[in-house]
Structure 1
Amino acid sequence: MAAVDLMSGRPPERVRPRVLIPGIRRLDPGAERYPIEGLGSVVVRVFAGDRLRIVNREGGQVCEIVAMTAEGQDQPGILGSPGDGAATDLRAMLAQGGPAAELLFDALKAKGLPASFSSCIRCFGSDTPAFEAATFDVEADGVIVVAAPAQDMVVESHGTASGLELFITRADPKVAAERNIPDPLAEPRYEHRVKAGEAHAYEVRKGEYIQIMDVEGRECSDFQAISLAKLERGIERDIDPTATRVLMGAAYPAPGLHSKLFDNDLEASIEIIQDTVGRHDSFNFACTAKYYDDVGYPGHVNCTDNFNTELAPWGIKPRGGWQAMNFFYNTLLDDQYQIYLDEPWSRPGDYVLCRAQQDVVAINSACPDAIDPANGWDPTDILVRVYPADNMFRKAIAFRAMPDSDPQMTKETGFHARTSELTRNFTEYNGYWLPSHYTNHGAIDEYWACREGVIAMDLTALRKFEITGPDAGELMQRTLTRNVKKLADGHVVYSAMCYEHGGMIDDGTLFRMSETGYRWIGGTDFGGEWLRQKAQEWGLRALVRNSTDQLHNISVQGPKSRE
């Protein structure tokens, strides 16, 4: 039978693990976690004896679960339920198309499953409190699709889509251990797991993509790429970090305009396409035998010797020290010009996605350094995947709304198709690519146009929250500095959001849309978190749901804006 656990609107209690690793989420043995974005879904294999727990993170989000046999026949009885009819919301979402629908179709196609969805289990509703959970026991082997469907949001409504969390406790813990690596971004041409303390060399053709993943978090990987064309002429040309810093004007490249790694001849070798960490090193050698000798560990395995061994089949001469692009290293130059290092920022599953600009021999290490914080004192594995050149991956970096949030790759706003025709100068802001200035104008002209004329500005990245429920007005009255009770339907007011001691959290505008419905537009995600925390603390019947991704907006400003 399906066991439904309806929690009382409180956040799930955190079980303190025996080993504490700050910044890295740890699950109990045999447990798996799958975040599901609003309008998103996940396809997972389940086995008899497993237990599913689905958490409604912000409340008010419908969930549809399609359970099917391994052959693709809908069978809700797998979860001990007769079903609630066809998955109408999920079907409607797929009919709309878009990236979320494409991802689901691709996941089903990879497993050889249909998308009929003739029967589903439906849980939660529009009035479901935040953090409420539903639990199901798996009675037979099969496959489940868990979705957070919703229709396109209209501006005058509160019908946003928010996320769910799926937790699976496996009857056989070995199954969870085998699934600790994120799925590929596409079908890889080549895959290799570099064991801790080792290195691996492989050939990559021009245009192919290289994904370098930190499997368990806080593990560094030295990376080099040697030109195959020049090797055939007896010339060794590899990534030159100094040349890269000079040409890019940055300590290391990142997705965007300054994204290339250059070789000794100042030719582009590698381009950075995606990066979920944003903290690397290009100043230091891969670790060497001399380093370990000097600090009292003679004979210690090191990345330079591993490089020499792995690259020997290509006729590359051994070196006493290899310069490299040191992914995931956390090194800094302090005010006294001392270079120092600390534990990496990378978390399990974090990666860098590169694209080869020429045919190369690439090599990655899983650094063996266990005598300092470089690898969090515990060297682990690195995973390398090579994807064919015919794939198309958008440039993006990871954005985390809160320190422990799941990473979200940089998005394009609804206006990007037009603004990208007017400029190539984009910057990442709050998870979106936004124009920094426009071609043939520049920041100064744009400033004066705002002061004396009129401008149009993409403000999609402002954070929007739908506050609904019988106590929505009281929540906003107690958390904003304005007297919200004076607002009438359709009115908008500017306000600050403050802590009890008067310290500033955020400022923004509040829309009163009805007696039980408000929209807060501010600059930070924490504003929504604060409202949700206060609603729970004060026992108010109010939902706070993020609608930023559903509402893209443009602002027309300046003294001539009304003209």
Structure 2
Amino acid sequence: MPVAPHTTAPREPGLQAWPAGMDRWQVPGRSARLLAVAAGEQIELIDLEGGQPGELLFFATDGTCRTDALAGGGRVIADVLDALDATADGVIEARAMLLEHGIALAGAQALAVFGPQGLPGAQVCFDCPLDGWVLLAVPGPLMAVDGQATTTPIELRRQARPGAGAGERTPPPPLAPPLQDIHIDPGTAHAYTVRAGEYIQVIDVQGRQCSDFQAFSLEALRQGRESCLDATITRTMLHRAYPQPGLPSKAFSRECEPLVELVQDTCGRHDAFATACHARYYDDAGYPGHVNCSDNFNRALAPYGVAPRLAWEALNFFFNTRVDASDAMVVDEPWSRPGDYVLLRALTDLVCVSSSCPDDIDPANGWQPTDIQVRVYAATSTFQPTFAIRMTPESIPQPTRQTAFHARTSALTRAFAEYRGFWLPAQYDTVGTLQEYWACRQAVAVMDLSPLRKFEITGPDAQALLQWCLTRDMRKLAIGQVVYTAICHPHGGVQDDGTVLRLGEHNFRLVCGEEATGLWLRQQAAEKGYRVWVRSSTDQMHNLAVQGPRSRELLDAILWTAPAHTPLSQLGWFRFVPARIGGFAGVPVVVSRTGYTGELGYEIFCHPRDAQAVWDAVWEAGRPLGLQPLGLHALDMLRIEAGLVFAAHEFDDGTDPFEAGIGFTVPIKSKDVDFVGREAMLQRQGHPRQVLAGLALEGNEAVHHGDGVYIGRARVGVVTSACYSPILQQSIALARLEPSAAAIGTAIEIGTLDGHQKRHPGQVVRFAHYDPDKTRVRA
């Protein structure tokens, strides 16, 4: 029988996971959140990782403790905030709000929620009986580096009473007291002035709504010149030869003057590919007379003496366009969620104009234009540079953060780059990438690697879970030993790599790259019914890498190990030991003989509270030995020379461990139990589609990740990583090649331009390029 056409129903977890009327917060371990609630609202708590106790208190508007009205009773606590981190933002804000509203914690009743044996994802819900305040505290111990008593976050949700939250969302609370608070209705635009140093926040209130932005130098306008933002000049000044999604760190005018700089961005997907929408676009699409941003700009800017234009150039906030494989521009719905925003800082006095785009004839605004909010904040406001990181589309965005070593590294450089949600030095201003590199090869270097994700895997089924989820055989991992492993999908593709430390019979620590790996491990544990807890400890365990031929000499001078533990001078490769800085009563650390440079080296793990003391001890002991700080740029050169793989370069979910050059992590013959991806890898073992190989180039010109590798006209592979090797004095690369083209000595060419018009000759060589037998790391 004939059937009706299908509906369009894409799965949109990022948009649907946050229904109207719901607000969500993630309360970190050892922190708190005080929240105003109304009668009839529902409070929901979720123990995200399991095993995390919480304390919930409820206060009426008159300041009296009414936890009994919320849940029927509780226990008296002197001051629940005393057990938390007094320096945490949430604790500071909660104390200030309690004082402001006359709420005393002494003698208040708290309701204990969850517990140390709770399962990941456990939930409890409460209905608010009256208007008041809810206080959630997430207590826990200071984690010892050789222990695993970590404190993890609890998610707090507030759902409006039935009928109250069914309408459209309202703008989120201001970041600070605003100087201007401008609401822009759908299909309109508004012009406003901003003084130098002030901040401009452009907010997507409902989600998936574009906002064009343009800014003029106020001084140039007074002199009769229209000096406004220019995308071509901006890309040129920032060495971005092609428009890319995202935002520039600064945006420049046609006179090459920087007008605004990016401070915060919670969306991460914008563009400056094309103009703001204009009348001709709608005319040619068959919608003559359609309202458009360019005409709206003209009307809004007329009072400032700005001449009208048929089509305005603009920064297109939240606009999701890209260039496809055939170099055509395509558009899809924005990535922005409700409340996402961009925060800019004015670098001179400006006239700005913002729109709420009226486009309803394509997906640009999700087919339904909504409103935009613009707020201007005083120059005296303080905002840390951040942009949002979401582990999954449903996750609450987490801002990029500073590591516990930032106070020391920021005194040596301003060149920071985002790395896995943290700011890390790309290079050091007073040293330079080459000097950093040579320090590691010839003496000793220190690097902050705190963003690496750490997970504590504990419980009677801890080994079983890791045996199932990791490629290595966990039965062979002794206490005190470290092993490098791959973590694969069922189809054999690599989703992450990392090292595993065995702290006890049922106690492991995974140090890896992806936050999502912890979520995946918990999902696997639930599906298999394993009794195990996977709890994140990244925020309670920061780490330095101390690498280079004199690293042992440096650390041996400052580390004390207990008589029952292996002294550092005797610590074997891929072993770790608890130690202390400076003696029996010194700062506790865990030291592993591991690294990512191809040199003798170690990693030092410590609690963030001790980070500066650890840095200072390493710095003082290392200076006579030629110690230098090491940034990301130099590290990349070192690891390419050493043939060490990097996510999204040598491996991704489309490459298995054999194709990624880490087939040694898959002991299929000796690991006689099933594990994720084993069947797929059994079929591929010995028959890889591609293999990782080393390339040496004849010239000194650079090649790059993604360049094709050719034999004649045939493309036989792709460059995954490349650099000029200072110690080998030649350009080198890692590449995935067809197996038939991977024999050592095979002559190849790397193609640039279109792959055929310019070729760089080279040959396949043994890798690692530097110290292929790893004699230096084993020294």
Whether the TM-score (by the shorter chain) exceeds 0.5 is yes
Q: Deviations over 1:235-266 (max 9, x none)?
A: 332222222122122347978xx622122322
- Residue 112 (structure 1) aligns with: 101
Aligned-partner Cα distance in 2 for 1:106–1:324: 41
Aligned-partner Cα distance in 2 for 1:514–1:115: 44
Higher mean Cα deviation, 416-425 or 532-541? Answer: 416-425
CA RMSD of aligned residues (A): 2.6
Confirm or deny that 1:202 pairs with 2:192.
yes
Does the CA-based 8 Å contact 2:168-2:206 persist in structure 1? no
Q: CA deviation at 1:83?
A: 2.3
Q: CA deviation at 1:29?
A: 5.5
The secondary structure found in structure 2 opposite 1:85 is: strand
Does the CA-based 8 Å contact 2:457-2:508 persist in structure 1? yes
Q: CA deviation at 1:169?
A: 3.6
Aligned-partner Cα distance in 2 for 1:90–1:489: 37
Does the CA-based 8 Å contact 2:193-2:349 persist in structure 1? yes
Select which of 29, 32, 40 maps to 1:41: 32
Does the CA-based 8 Å contact 1:105-1:115 persist in structure 2? no
Amino acid at match of 1:528: G
Aligned-partner Cα distance in 2 for 1:83–1:237: 64
Aligned length, in residue pairs: 543
Gaps of 5+ in 2: 1-7, 554-779
Aligned CA distance change for structure 1 residues 313 and 114 (closer, same or farther; 3 Å): farther
Does the CA-based 8 Å contact 1:78-1:141 persist in structure 2? no
Q: Deviations over 1:49-77 (max 9, x none)?
A: 33322111111112111211123332213
Aligned-partner Cα distance in 1 for 2:468–2:50: 21
Select which of 463, 485, 501 maps to 1:473: 463
- Residue 642 (structure 2) aligns with: none
1:35-434 alignment runs, 5 A limit: 35-86=26-77, 88-93=79-84, 96-105=86-95, 108=98, 112-114=101-103, 116=105, 118-175=108-165, 177=167, 180-250=170-240, 251=243, 259-434=249-424
Q: CA deviation at 1:140?
A: 2.0
Aligned-partner Cα distance in 1 for 2:541–2:201: 32
Select which of 503, 525, 537 maps to 1:535: 525
Amino acid at match of 2:63: G
Higher mean Cα deviation, 137-146 or 266-275? Answer: 137-146
- Residue 447 (structure 1) aligns with: 437
Does the CA-based 8 Å contact 1:465-1:520 persist in structure 2? yes
Amino acid at match of 1:558: G
Q: CA deviation at 1:23?
A: 3.2
Aligned CA distance change for structure 1 residues 384 and 529 (closer, same or farther; 3 Å): same
Task: Report 1 or 2 for greater relative contact order, CA contacts < 8 Å, sequence distance ≥ 6.
Answer: 1
Aligned CA distance change for structure 1 residues 90 and 127 (closer, same or farther; 3 Å): farther
Aligned-partner Cα distance in 1 for 2:217–2:299: 18
Higher mean Cα deviation, 176-185 or 315-324? Answer: 176-185
Q: Deviations over 1:318-362 (max 9, x none)?
A: 222211111111222345443332222222221110011122221
The secondary structure found in structure 2 opposite 1:553 is: strand
Confirm or deny that 1:515 pairs with 2:505.
yes
Aligned CA distance change for structure 1 residues 26 and 466 (closer, same or farther; 3 Å): closer
Q: CA deviation at 1:554?
A: 0.4
Aligned-partner Cα distance in 1 for 2:233–2:98: 45
Does the CA-based 8 Å contact 1:292-1:299 persist in structure 2? yes
Aligned CA distance change for structure 1 residues 328 and 503 (closer, same or farther; 3 Å): closer
Aligned-partner Cα distance in 1 for 2:74–2:83: 18
- Residue 9 (structure 1) aligns with: none
Q: CA deviation at 1:371?
A: 1.0
Aligned CA distance change for structure 1 residues 440 and 26 (closer, same or farther; 3 Å): closer
Q: Deviations over 1:124-161 (max 9, x none)?
A: 12221111112222222211122323343221222222
Aligned CA distance change for structure 1 residues 154 and 302 (closer, same or farther; 3 Å): same
Q: CA deviation at 1:180?
A: 4.7
Aligned-partner Cα distance in 2 for 1:98–1:524: 25
Aligned-partner Cα distance in 2 for 1:303–1:562: 63
Aligned CA distance change for structure 1 residues 298 and 40 (closer, same or farther; 3 Å): farther
Q: CA deviation at 1:179?
A: 5.9
Does the CA-based 8 Å contact 2:20-2:165 persist in structure 1? no
Aligned-partner Cα distance in 2 for 1:293–1:381: 24
Amino acid at match of 2:53: V
Q: Larger Cα Rg: Structure 1 or Structure 2?
A: 2
